[in-house]
Amino acid sequence: MTKKHLLILGALPLLALGACNNGGNDSATVADNGATVANAPADDMAGNGVSGMTDNSVSATSMTGQDFANTMAASDAYEIAAGKLAQQKATTAALKDFGTEMVEDHTKSTDKLKAAAGKASPAITPAPALTDEQQANLQTLQSATGTDFDAAYKNQQVVAHEKALAVLKAYAGSGDVPALRAFAGEAQDVVSHHYDKIKGM
C-alpha cells in the first residue's frame, strides 16, 4: 500500500465524522491524521473550535454569541493558514487557486465577524484559538508534500466546510445575538460555495 493510499485511508475517519455533524463531544472519534500536538493552548478545550471541530464544545444550537464568534474566528484562522500552505505546496493550479480564495474570503469573513461581534451588547471580541484538531491538521499539511499534500488538503477542506455550514445554519436559525445571526446567514452562501467547489475537485 502506497503512502498516498495510507494518507487517504487515514483521512476517512475525519470524513465520516464530518458527515455526522454532531457538533460536540468529538474527543473519542476525532482523528489527527497521524500528527501530534505538543503545545496546544489550554483554552483550546473551551469550545473555540473550527465550525464544530472541537474536543469539548457546546452544541451548535446552544452556542452563546461568544462561543459562535470564537468558533468562526478559529475557522477563519485555520482556513487562512491552510490556504497559505496550499498556495505554496499544492501541485495543481486548481488547489493553489482555491488556497488563494480561502485566504481572501476568510480574511474578509474575519473582518465581517469582528464588525458584527462589535455590535453586540456588550460587545464581543472573537478569540480565534485553534483546537487540537486544527493544529494537527496544519502540522499534517506542513509536513506533507506533493500529491500527499493535495489529498490531505482537499480532505481537510471538505470536512471543515461541512462542519462550518452546520454551525452557521444552526446559529442563523437560533443564535442569541442578532448581528451575529445576520453574519451567519450571510456567511452560509460563501461557505456553501467553497464546499461545493472543493467537493468538485
- Using CA atoms, how far residue 107 sits from 64, 128, 169, 174, in Å, is 23, 13, 20, 25
Cα 30 from Cα 18, distance rounded (Å): 10
Q: How confident is the model at residue 93 (pLDDT cuts 50, 70, 90)?
A: very high
Contact 168, 93 (CB under 8 A): no
Give the C-alpha distances (Å, rounded to integers) separating 62 from 28, 39, 68, 173: 21, 29, 10, 11
Range of the domain at 74: 64-118+132-201
**112 found inside a domain:** yes
CATH code, 112: 1.20.1260.10
Per DSSP, the three-state class of 75 is helix
Average the pLDDT over each of 33-37, 83-87, 121-125, 151-155 and give the range with the smallest value: 33-37
d(CA 132, CA 92): 28
Q: Is residue 4 part of a domain?
A: no
Lowest-confidence pick of 30-39, 78-87, 145-154, 175-184: 30-39
Tens-place pLDDT, residues 44-77:
333 333 333 433 344 555 789 999 999 999 999 9
Average pLDDT value over all residues in the chain: 76
Confirm whether 45 is domain-assigned. no
Within a domain: 91: yes
The pLDDT of residue 11 is above 50: no
Residue type for position 139: Q
Q: Within a 13 Å sphere around the CA of 190, how many CA atoms are in the beta-carbon half?
A: 18
Indicate whether 12 belongs to any domain. Answer: no
Residue 113 forms part of a structural domain? yes
Predicted pLDDT of residue 59: 52
In a domain, 123, yes or no: no
Tally of structural domains, the chain: 1
Confidence of residue 114 (pLDDT cuts 50, 70, 90): very high
- Does residue 146 lie within any of the structural domains? yes
Secondary structure E strands in the chain = none
In this predicted structure, the answer to whether residue 124 has a pLDDT above a threshold of 50 is yes
